[in-house]
Amino acid sequence: MNQTRIILVDDHTLFRKGLAELLEQSGQIEVTAFTGNPNEVSMLLHAHRPDVLILDLNMPGIDGITLMQQLRAEGHTLPVLILTLSEAEDDLARALRAGANGYLLKSMEPDEVVDAILRARRGETVVALAMTAKLVRLYDQKDQQKGSLLDSLTPREREILTHLSRGESNKAIARSLDISHDTVKLHVRHILAKLNLSSRVEAAVFAVENRVAPGGGRDT
């Protein structure tokens, strides 16, 4: 795979420049642009066409989650990773529910951030190791409600949900199941609606936490 091209958005100049240098030292990441101005991001995306976008959570005037939602509304579909100091469960929940592809902490080692970026490019959901217990607790809170929601899925929807939990794209799922890409998209929309979820990330987490197995029931 070629170098993964990223844009880094963070309002702290020293951190932004330092992280860019560390990421590029890996030889696997090319920082095509970085900025501390959220208003420049849409223009930079059009100009550089990166593989992954990294957004600081707390920036003057707008937070990274709101900015991500605005970019999604403009039609930008690339993976977005939130990079932050915040270990608050509420921030993690808000980011994932809004459709972020990952939640990283600024305390992570550079090689961990590189690995997360590469995995996000492959379509995986990535969450800082320090946040995984909070992630489990977050979704455990809805366990009883989700158990009944799970029963509403058809066998095919369960099958597709299992593929989502592996971080597979719609195209990959279509190939695996020998169905059309549009059919997969329709099933994913139905899955999100039935489970009261708003993103593929949430669906993937749901599947992992509920040990969803194709055809019905759970893995034991």
110-146 pLDDT per residue, tens? 999 999 999 999 988 899 988 887 777 766 665 555 5
Is residue 219 situated within a structural domain? Answer: no
Task: Report pLDDT for 219.
Answer: 44
Q: With beta carbons less than 8 A apart as the criterion, state whether 161 and 177 touch.
A: no
Structure confidence at residue 9 (pLDDT): 97
CB-based burial of residue 135 (10 Å sphere; 0-12 exposed, 13-18 middle, 19+ buried)? buried
Residue 87 lies in a domain: yes
Res. 215: pLDDT tops 60: no
Domain end, chosen from 118, 137, 156, is at: 137
Q: How far apart are CA 45 and CA 32, in angstroms?
A: 10
Does residue 188 register a pLDDT over 60? yes
Whether the pLDDT of residue 216 is over 60: the answer is: no
Q: Are 59 and 18 part of one and the same domain?
A: yes
| Domain coverage including residue 164 | 142-209
Average pLDDT of span 208-217: 66
**160 neighbors 173 (Cβ within 8 angstroms):** yes
Residues 132 and 178 in one domain: no
Number of compact structural domains in the chain? 2
Q: Let me know if residue 175 belongs to a domain.
A: yes
Per-residue pLDDT at 217 exceeds 60: no
Over residues 50-85, the pLDDT tens digits come to 999 999 999 988 999 999 999 999 999 999 999 999
